[in-house]
Chains A and B, each alone.
With several copies, the nearest count.
Chain A
Amino acid sequence: MLEFDIQDADLQPDQWRQELMDPACGGYVSFEGWVRDNNEGQRVLRLEYQAYAALALKEGRRILDEAQQKFPISHAKCVHRVGALDIGGMAVWVGVSGGHRDECFRACRYIIDEVKHRVPVWKKEHYVGGDSGWVNCEACAGEH
């Protein structure tokens, strides 16, 4: 099973973890991205995620396919949240199961690294003090 999704409701890792269970699997690795209360020295109040869904779903699926080609895993799933998130909220979840732990760790890391670089999702940080900015958009941070 390889599945990439985007949703604007809270993520449900407990449920998805069960979808990855398989009697042939000895290892399971998961990653969760949580909204931190700080980023690059600024106090963050909340985040807002926006996705270009049509392309994000294709690119996310390609990343999962690549992970399965590179590493002998059995199942992988990744779901990205969009919309408003408070501190502590879960922005992204990745789960991987496979025969042994080595491929699970490598594949999980590969998936989240690639998702962060390639999947068209953007986040806007709202800071203590009222400022806000789109992350990775240095020319415009603080303007909006």
Chain B
Amino acid sequence: MKTVHIEYFAVLRECAGRDTEAVSTAAETPRQLYAELAARHHFPALQSIKVALNDEFSDMSAALKDGDTVVFIPPVAGG
């Protein structure tokens, strides 16, 4: 088990009802972690979710490490 720090934005923040949380997880990758959180917080189906690890874009198949900061990024819509 590792502990990761999660920050939520936009629709995910609304679903989770919180800005951040610390999660103990057995997930090996952001993809596994997202499935776990989606089930817990009833996230909507998002086809093109992206992820940032420690404030850099990363891959949904990257290796999660203990202490990582994880941000899941729904489709952006700036401007």
Contact = CB atoms under 8 A, between A and B. Distances in A.
- Say if the two chains contact directly (CB < 8 Å): yes
Interface of A: 33, 49-52, 54-55, 58-59, 80, 91-92, 101, 112, 115-124, 134-137, 139-140, 143-144
Given A51-B78, A137-B10, 6 more contacts: A80-B79, A91-B79, A101-B79, A112-B79, A120-B76, A134-B74
Contacts, number: 83
Interface residues of B, number: 22
A116 B44 contact: no
11 contacts: A51-B9, A55-B52, A55-B57, A58-B55, A80-B79, A91-B79, A101-B79, A116-B77, A134-B74, A134-B77, A137-B75
Contact of A120 (B9, B14, B46, B79): B9
Nearest to A116: B79
A119 B78 contact: yes
Contacts of B44: 137, 139-140, 143
How would you classify the secondary structure of chain A's contact residues: helix, strand, loop or mixed? mixed
